[in-house]
Amino acid sequence: MRGIDPSRIRAICFDIDGTLADTDDQAVLFAGRMLSHPLKLLAPHHDSAVLARRLVMVVEGPINFAIDLADSLMLDEVVRPALEMFDRWRRGGSGTAPALIPGVETLVVSLAQRYALAIVTTRGDERTRRFLRDSRLDRFFEAVITARSTRRTKPHAEPVLRAAAVLGVPVEACLIVGDTTVDIRSGHAAGAQTVGVLCGFGERQELERAGADSILTTTADLASLLSQP
């Protein structure tokens, strides 16, 4: 990894799930609780928590795609029950909004004083706006790029290019922060710098292979990284 050049950065684009919101671990815990007995029967010699995480990683992409496709077709009333069920699953079976990654609220408040901030997510509009509203972070983000904002979603460059255009900064002045390889690949395809975080589903080796310029244990560590000369 070559590291980032903080002096170039004028804008920061964040993913949501596993980057700002602690939804991924909640989903794993919920899946582990619900499937602990079947998993023990099917794979008695394997760690059920590890199997639950792999299961969530496998099903999350297609579910997100299906829900966001319906959202993009503006089938709001049709997709609403699925949205509520999926969000409940992502929250670990509770009715509460997903918790923020520890330290994220303080980080966002601080960064908003120095950088233009954007959301770049594969969520649909409704779920994205609801998360930002519920977490009270909406006022800090000048651009919100969702699955409905562009023709192609991450890992393509288009969402990052759109965020840069809305913010009015060159894409080379953007930093992309996310927990999966699609975030890193999207950022690099657009020409932005990238930071991978390990507080979601991404693992260090795969983020390195995707070309992350830097990797942090958690999103809250970004403040320290940006303060380095």
The CA distance from 149 to 17, in Å, is 18
- The number of C-alpha atoms within 13 Å of 101 and in the hemisphere containing its C-beta is 25
Q: 138-185 pLDDT, tens per residue? A: 999 999 999 889 888 888 899 999 999 999 999 999 999 999 888 999
Q: 179-215 pLDDT, tens per residue? A: 988 899 999 999 999 999 999 878 899 899 999 999 9
pLDDT at 81: 53
Confidence of residue 16 (pLDDT cuts 50, 70, 90): very high
CA distances to 19, 74, 101, 137, 224 from 220, rounded to whole Å, are 9, 35, 8, 15, 8
Tokens 């770049």 correspond to what residue?
120
Q: Quote the pTM value.
A: 0.76
The CA distance from 173 to 8, in Å, is 5
Count of Cβ atoms closer than 10 Å to residue 70 Cβ: 17
Contacts (Cβ under 8 Å, ≥6 apart) of 210: 181, 184, 185, 188, 196
